[in-house]
């Protein structure tokens, strides 16, 4: 009898669950909106457990299919989550620029309200925050990333690059393959450690130092992070109910402890530096004077944490993929090296902030790398109030996820012929008119674009210029041009190591 009741209960629960899934997946059809038909139990995505490519490519495939069907925009379903996708660049512009500036109350956030910041204090940073809290913090932090502030940090990039060149030189002398992501991980850790925390990390001397070890582990694929990245998009209500611990406790304790230690040291010793923590400390003092609530230690630490992660991970990944492309495109590498050396010759054999940021071909090489390997493959916004798009009959309800596939735009043959080829000339001034705006969005656009993009580009360009002036980069043993991406991460990451070889030039 008990077994029969239990079996009946299981059947009822499964039936209700199946009904809920199927009802959710009829969302767009019930509204007569342009949409893709659901292809499986998982909607318009692969099984997240067995997928070979990951959700970022499922979303790209949906973008491509919507465009093939002639839709400028349309609905898809990621498991039970209805998602509106912008396909046409003009629709992307409405979401990112016109709407976000003119009608910011409609599309002002990314859906960060589904995170429990009490359980995940380091997630309470600028990228996730919503509403007035985000707006006030964004205004306060923006002065950190002006060109004037960047110039003050430039010498740190050069000094951090010297041990990087020494380490590559060691591999060159011994004719060994280089794990280039590890090299750039050490370089960016040292840069961010100094520019954000005012600390000397010395990652090349001690690759297992606290900052390097924790930085290496932050985005390492693990079950909790994979579930968070997936279910935040496909089942946000379920994710909120499960209330996952996103960042491991040991990493959380380390970063909050490191920030507290730096704050205490500066307070006791009356130390001031031109770095990110100092800016936050200055904001704390101003908040007290203005009678406003200052950031808590956890909120303070969260801003330092996202600055560290974004500056460390996105720059090191972009530099890694860039050298991979240059290793397989020697003509591009030679042309870029000539520009770097000519620029240095004109500046007394040195790299300066203005000379690095002014190199046109280097800029094209970086932009083409960002096209093929966007740091954020999917841009996400959330509709906060019911909204009807200009010149369409599509009405979005409050709470609807809105997505733009950077991979879809960046690999669209209409805008980028032969999209698999690495062609920096696409981004030369004389060729920019060949495609519409809002087809290259590596850092997003509008008020919620990446606040640290200028810093990331400076770090990336400087590191690459230093290396290419001294070394010729070649493919590592067994490396192939086509990269096999890791499906477990929301970012663009290669499965396993990416190795290169270097020769002095």
- Domain locations in the chain? 31-504
DSSP letter for 96, please.
Answer: I
Between CA 173 and CA 482 the distance in angstroms is 28
Residue 39 has which token pair? 């292809």
The first and second tokens of residue 410, run together, are 């960046």
- Count H helices, E strands: the chain? 20, 9
CA–CA distance, 224 with 238 (Å, rounded to integer): 14
**Is 295 within 8 Å of 259 (Cβ atoms)?**
no
SS3 208: coil
CB 99 within 8 A of CB 107: yes
Secondary structure percentages of the chain, helix, strand, coil, to 5: 55, 10, 35
CA 469 to chain centre: 28
Give the neighbor-by-neighbor strand order of the sheet with 499-504.
178-179, 499-504, 471-475
Task: Name the architecture of domain 31-504.
Answer: Orthogonal Bundle (1.10)
Task: Tell me how far apart the alpha carbons of residues 474 and 84 are, in angstroms, rounded to a whole number.
Answer: 43
Give pLDDT, residue 109: 52
What does the alpha-carbon distance between residue 491 and residue 78 come to, in Å, rounded to a whole number?
A: 18
In angstroms, the CA 309 to CA 216 distance is 10
| pLDDT score for 414 | 96
pTM of the entire predicted model? 0.89
In 243-390, which ranges are continuous DSSP H helix? 249-269, 276-289, 297-309, 315-328, 330-346, 353-357, 360-372
pLDDT of residue 231: 66
Close Cβ partners of 304 (under 8 Å, ≥ 6 residues apart): 196, 197, 255, 259, 276, 277, 280
DSSP 38-73: P-BTTBSS--TTT-SS-HHHHHHHHHHHHHHTT-SE
Q: What is the mean pLDDT of each run of 10 residues along the chain (505 residues)?
A: 74 76 81 86 84 90 96 90 91 72 51 69 82 79 81 90 97 96 94 87 89 80 62 65 74 90 87 82 78 81 86 90 98 98 96 95 98 93 76 77 94 97 96 91 85 91 98 96 88 90 96
Q: What is the pLDDT of residue 416?
A: 97
Rounded to 5 degrees, φ, ψ at 76 are -135, 175
Q: What is the pLDDT of residue 107?
A: 52
Distance CA 40, CA 50 (A): 14
* Residue 195 labelled as part of a binding site: no
Q: Which residues contact 8 (CB under 8 A, 6 or more apart)?
A: none
């Amino acid at each position: 009898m008990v077994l029969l009741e239990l079996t009946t209960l299981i059947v009822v629960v499964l039936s209700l669950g199946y009904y809920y899934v199927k009802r959710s997946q009829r969302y767009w059809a019930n509204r007569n909106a342009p949409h893709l038909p659901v292809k499986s139990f998982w909607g318009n995505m692969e099984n997240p457990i067995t997928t070979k490519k990951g959700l970022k490519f499922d979303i790209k495939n949906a973008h491509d299919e919507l465009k093939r069907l002639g839709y400028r925009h349309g609905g898809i379903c990621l498991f039970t989550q209805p998602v509106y996708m912008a396909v046409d660049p003009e629709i992307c512009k409405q979401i990112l620029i016109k709407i976000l500036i003119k009608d910011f109350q409609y599309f002002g956030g990314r859906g960060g309200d589904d995170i429990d910041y009490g359980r995940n204090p380091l997630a309470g940073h600028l990228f996730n925050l919503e509403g007035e809290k985000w707006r006030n913090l964004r205004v306060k932090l923006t002065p950190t990333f002006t060109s004037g502030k960047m110039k003050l940090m430039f010498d740190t990039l050069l000094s951090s690059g010297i041990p990087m060149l020494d380490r590559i030189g060691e591999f060159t002398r011994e004719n060994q393959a280089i794990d280039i992501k590890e090299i750039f991980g050490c370089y960016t850790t040292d840069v961010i450690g100094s520019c954000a925390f005012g600390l000397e990390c010395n990652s090349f001397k001690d690759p297992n130092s606290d900052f390097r070890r924790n930085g290496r582990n932050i985005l390492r694929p693990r079950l909790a992070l994979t579930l968070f990245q997936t279910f935040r998009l496909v089942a946000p209500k379920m994710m909120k109910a499960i209330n996952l611990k996103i960042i491991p406790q040991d990493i959380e304790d380390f970063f909050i402890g490191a920030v507290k230690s730096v704050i205490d040291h500066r307070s006791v010793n009356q130390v001031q530096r031109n770095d990110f923590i100092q800016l936050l400390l200055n904001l704390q003092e101003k908040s007290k004077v203005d009678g406003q609530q200052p950031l808590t230690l956890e909120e303070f630490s969260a801003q330092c944490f996202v600055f560290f992660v974004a500056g460390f991970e996105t720059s090191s990944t972009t530099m890694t993929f860039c050298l991979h492309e240059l290793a397989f495109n020697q003509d591009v590498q030679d042309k870029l090296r000539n520009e770097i050396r000519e620029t240095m010759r004109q500046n007394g054999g040195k790299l300066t902030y203005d000379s690095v940021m002014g190199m046109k071909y280097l800029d094209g090489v970086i932009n083409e790398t960002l096209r093929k390997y966007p740091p954020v493959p999917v841009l996400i916004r959330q509709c906060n109030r019911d909204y009807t798009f200009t010149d369409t009959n599509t009405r979005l309800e409050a709470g609807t996820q809105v997505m733009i596939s950077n991979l879809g735009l960046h690999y669209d043959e209409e805008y980028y012929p032969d999209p698999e080829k690495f062609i920096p000339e696409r981004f030369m001034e004389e060729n920019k008119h060949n495609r519409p705006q809002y087809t290259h969005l590596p850092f997003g656009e509008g008020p919620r674009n990446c606040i640290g993009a200028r810093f990331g580009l400076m770090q990336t360009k400087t590191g690459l210029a230093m290396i290419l002036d001294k070394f010729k980069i070649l493919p590592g043993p067994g490396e192939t041009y086509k990269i096999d991406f890791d499906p477990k991460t929301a970012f663009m990451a290669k499965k396993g190591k990416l190795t290169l070889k270097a020769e002095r030039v």
